Amino acid sequence: MDCPKCVVLFSGKRKSGKDFVAERVFNRLGAEHAVIIRLSAPIKSHWAEKEGLSLAELMGTSEYKETYRKNMIKWGEEKRLEDPGYFCQAAIKMTNANLKPVWIISDARRMTDLEWFQSHYGNSLLTVRIRADIDVRKKRGWIFTQGVDDAETECGLDSVNSWNVIIDNNHSEDYLEEKIDEILNWVKNKLSS
């Protein structure tokens, strides 16, 4: 199979609804055609393997991961400096994405993520920025956290103004469905070309 036929990449701030929208698109396409790739997943599994730590604890919400957070970030930065596509490739491998024609990247956070997908799948890439008003994000559980919300993982893509699609995900169902249809139409075009 000539894989992937197309890639839909989502970016957005915490609690903007990246995962929510990515899952809607995935559900409409079905597991037969699409796969969700989470770029954040391999960092924890690589780190757990490397350091002999509990992956379940690192993935969970416990304090356990806080002990290793700084070291994980440092190690992640070093890996990215050596190879900016390291975690993109690891996430693709981890999800066996090569078996599916449509890749949905649910969490692009850094310029290196965007650039890597642009350089490898530029002609078949749709970039989507999810936005939500601050009060909406707060209702979804977002609380400003220093060292997280002012870090590169949250702000690294703020200056990009070339998104193919922008979705203001503030709870208007009809509008959201229209935007999802726009994405699905693009995917269907790619699949049939």
Ligand X SMILES: Nc1ncnc2c1ncn2[C@@H]1O[C@H](COP(=O)(O)OP(=O)(O)OP(=O)(O)O)[C@@H](O)[C@H]1O
Which amino acids are annotated as binding site for ATP, given as ranges?
13-19, 140
| Contact positions with ligand X (CB under 6 A) in 6-25 | 12, 14-20
Instruction: Give the separation between CA 192 and CA 103, rounded to whole angstroms.
Output: 16
Half-sphere exposure of 186 (CA within 13 A, CB side): 19
Least separation in angstroms between residue 52's CB and ligand X is 27
| 76 belongs to the binding site for ligand X (CB under 6 A) | no
Q: Which of 170, 183, 137, 168 is nearest to 26 (CA)?
A: 183
Least separation in angstroms between residue 11's CB and ligand X is 9
| 80 belongs to the binding site for ligand X (CB under 6 A) | no
Is the Cβ of residue 36 or residue 126 nearer to ligand X in the bound state? 36
Least separation in angstroms between residue 16's CB and ligand X is 4
| 46 belongs to the binding site for ligand X (CB under 6 A) | no
Instruction: Give the separation between CA 5 and CA 66, rounded to whole angstroms.
Output: 38
Is the Cβ of residue 14 or residue 190 nearer to ligand X in the bound state? 14
| 171 belongs to the binding site for ligand X (CB under 6 A) | yes
Neighbouring-strand partners of residue 168? 131
Instruction: Give the separation between CA 50 and CA 85, rounded to whole angstroms.
Output: 19
| 140 belongs to the binding site for ligand X (CB under 6 A) | yes
Binding residue ranges: 13-19, 140, 169
Least separation in angstroms between residue 24's CB and ligand X is 9
| 169 belongs to the binding site for ligand X (CB under 6 A) | yes
Q: Which of 141, 127, 151 is nearest to 17 (CA)?
A: 141
Neighbour count for residue 105 (Cβ, 10 Å):
28
Torsion angles phi and psi, residue 6, rounded to 5:
-160, 160
Give the burial string for 143-172 (b: 16+ CB within 10 Å, else e): eeeeeeeeeebeebbeeeeebebebbbeee
| 154 belongs to the binding site for ligand X (CB under 6 A) | no
Is the Cβ of residue 38 or residue 79 nearer to ligand X in the bound state? 38
| 104 belongs to the binding site for ligand X (CB under 6 A) | no
- Contact positions vs ligand X (CB under 6 A): 12, 14-20, 140, 169, 171, 176
